Chain A
Amino acid sequence: MYQEMILQHYRAPHGRGLPTGPAVHEGARKNPLCGDDMRVGVVLAGDTIAAVGFEGRGCSITMASASMLTDAVRERPVVEARALAAAVEALLRGEVVREELLGGDLRALAGVAAYPQRVGCARMPWLALLDALEEARGTRV
Chain B
Amino acid sequence: MTDMTHTALAPRGDFPLLAANPLLHYLDSAATSQKPQTVLDAITHFYGTANANPHRGAYALAAAATDAYHEARETIAQFLGARDSDTLVFTRGTTEAMNLVANAWGRTHVQAGDEIVITALEHHANFVPWQQLAKSAGAQLRIAELTDDQQVDLDHLASLLSARTKVVAITHVSNAVGSITPVAEVVRLVRAHTSALLVLDGAQGAPHLPVDFDALGVDFYAFSGHKLLGPMGIGGVIGTRARWEECQPWQFGGDMIEWVHDMDSTWNVLPHRFEAGTPNAADAVGLAAAVRYLRALDMTAVRAHEVALLEYAQERLAGMDGLIVYGPPADARSGVLSFTLEDVHPHDLATILDQHNVCIRAGHHCAQPLMRRLGTSATARASFYVYSDTRDVDALVHALVEAQRIFAPVDA
Q: Which residues of A contact B (CB under 8 A)?
A: 1-2, 7, 10-11, 33-37, 57-61, 115, 117-118, 121
Contacts and interface: CB of A to CB of B under 8 A. Distances in A.
B347 interface: yes
7 smallest CB-CB distances across A and B, nearest first, come from: A59-B345, A35-B377, A59-B347, A35-B364, A34-B378, A34-B363, A59-B348
A132 B368 CA distance: 27
Interface stretch (B58-66, B268-276, B402-410): B402-410
A11 B410 contact: yes
Given A35-B363, A57-B377, A2 B347 contact: no
B91 to A, nearest CB: 25
Given A11-B410, A59-B348, 9 more contacts: A1-B351, A11-B409, A34-B364, A34-B377, A35-B371, A35-B377, A36-B347, A59-B347, A118-B347
B289 interface: no
Given A34-B364, A35-B371, A57-B377, A7 B407 contact: yes
Contact of B345 (A1, A7, A11, A58): A58
A77 to B, nearest CB: 33
Nearest to A112: B351
B348 A61 contact: yes
B407 A34 contact: no
B400 to A, nearest CB: 15
B372 to A, nearest CB: 9
B189 interface: no
B381 to A, nearest CB: 12
Contacts of B378: 34-36
B143 interface: no
A37 B376 CA distance: 12
Interface string B379-412: 0000000000000000000000000001101100
A33 B347 CA distance: 10
B407 A60 contact: yes
A121 B347 CA distance: 9
B335 interface: no
Contacts, number: 43
B362 interface: yes
A37 B409 CA distance: 23
A62 to B, nearest CB: 8
Contacts of A61: 347-348
Contacts of A11: 409-410
Interface in B334-389: 345-348, 351-352, 362-364, 368, 371, 377-378
18 contacts: A11-B409, A11-B410, A33-B363, A34-B346, A34-B347, A34-B363, A34-B377, A34-B378, A35-B363, A35-B364, A36-B377, A57-B377, A59-B346, A60-B407, A61-B348, A117-B351, A118-B351, A121-B347
Given A34-B362, A35-B378, A115 B409 contact: no
Nearest to B409: A11
A38 to B, nearest CB: 11
A125 to B, nearest CB: 15
A63 B352 CA distance: 17
Of B348, B363, B364, B407, which is in contact with the most chain A CB atoms at under 10 Å from its CB? Answer: B348
A10 B410 CA distance: 11
B373 to A, nearest CB: 13
A35 B368 contact: yes
Contacts of A35: 363-364, 368, 371, 377-378
A57 B409 CA distance: 18
Contacts of A57: 377
A126 B362 CA distance: 23
